[in-house]
Amino acid sequence: MADPHRLNPPSPSGISPATAHHTARLQAIGRAATVALYDELALYPKPGLVSFIDTGSHADMDAGTFLRSLFALRHYFVRVTEAGALRRPFAALEQLGLAAEARMLQATGGVNTHRGAIFNLGMLCAAAGRLHAEGTAPTPARLRAALRDGWGEALRRRCDHSGASNGQRAARQLGLRSAGDEAARGMPVLFEVAVPALQAARAAGLAPRDARLQTFFHTMAVLDDTNLAHRGGLAGLRDAQRLARDYLADGGVCQPGAIERAEAIHRHFVTRRLSPGGSADLLAAAGWVLRVSVGMGVREAP
């Protein structure tokens, strides 16, 4: 039998090239989550949400708050990817997420900027880590399967015993699906709506900003966004979904005056204090899915 050290000799540091490649790939998967969240922050207009232009419907946070949060979370996404590669149980992933949330709140002075992303993108990073450890390419379908196969049952149990957050309470009271419910079902809105919308927009040759905006409206049109429901009740959620559907029906970002119309919807949301944070989380997740699927391309310009 051939000596494995001769086939794959260690580097001067004692780490084999295969191990170094494995580690680098896991780190790239985690870092891609931070980049995807930055791209979501940079998008404008983005009805009701914080960007580099304004603070949307929020008086307690701005773009600087989000950047401090991203800096605090950058190692978390790598660690949860590594945990996924080691097939850690959901309880271990949850502990990483809770620690990340504590760092986020410390960095932002107690402001919740990325709680949803810590959960959604954290679970997706773990799924990608699991696939990489298996030597399997992280296509959207395989990512979804890895999420369900690895932690689906634990996520379903979590849904049965959750209800502490504003979004979870709104979901229970109004008969909506929370982010936890979505995850337990394999994130259907992400994989059946947001990712295909972003793929179609890119295939149509839309600029990166327009592709993300189109994806955002597709997501908002169908998602039970509990952030909207918490702030505006069921009427606020349905109003936002209707506006998104009408925007898409009239041509989306390809209609005349598309950006001006999106800005008008943004102003309407600000007036009503509506904030579709769940849709923003899935927009970032869709960008991350496509980035890891195609091999970690260079970040698109806002």
- The structural domains of the chain, with segments of one domain joined by +, span 17-293
Residues 146-179 have pLDDT tens digits of 999 999 999 988 876 655 566 666 677 777 888 8
Measured between alpha carbons, how far is 200 from 123 in angstroms, rounded to an integer? 25
Measured between alpha carbons, how far is 199 from 48 in angstroms, rounded to an integer? 24
Residues 52-94 have pLDDT tens digits of 999 999 999 999 999 999 999 999 999 999 999 999 999 999 9
What pLDDT score was predicted for residue 5?
42
Structure tokens at 201: 């927009």
Tell me the C-alpha to C-alpha distance, in Å, between residue 29 and each of 168, 208, 228, 258: 28, 20, 30, 33
- Judge whether 104 and 70 are in contact, CB under 8 Å: no
- Judge whether 71 and 106 are in contact, CB under 8 Å: no
What pLDDT score was predicted for residue 294?
82
Residue of 52 and 302 predicted with greater confidence: 52
In the block, tokens 């990166």 appear at: 208
Burial class (CB in 10 A: 0-12, 13-18, 19+), 26: buried
Residue 21 has pLDDT above 90, yes or no: no
Among the listed residues 140, 150, 249, 143, the one whose alpha carbon sits nearest the alpha carbon of residue 196 = 140
Residue 31 pLDDT level (bands cut at 50, 70, 90): very high
- Report whether the peptide linkage leading into residue 45 is cis, meaning its omega lies within 30 degrees of zero: yes
87: left (phi over 0), alpha (psi -120 to 50) or beta: left
Helices (H), 8-46: 17-42
- Judge whether 155 and 184 are in contact, CB under 8 Å: yes
Residue of 174 and 262 predicted with greater confidence: 262
Residue 114 has pLDDT above 90, yes or no: yes
SS3 category, 47: coil
Measured between alpha carbons, how far is 163 from 181 in angstroms, rounded to an integer? 11
Give mean pLDDT, residues 255-276. Answer: 97
What pLDDT score was predicted for residue 168?
66
Give mean pLDDT, residues 24-40. Answer: 97
Measured between alpha carbons, how far is 160 from 37 in angstroms, rounded to an integer? 29
Return phi, psi of residue 67, to 5°: -65, -40
What pLDDT score was predicted for residue 154?
94
Residue 302 pLDDT level (bands cut at 50, 70, 90): very low
Burial class (CB in 10 A: 0-12, 13-18, 19+), 139: middle
Measured between alpha carbons, how far is 276 from 289 in angstroms, rounded to an integer? 20
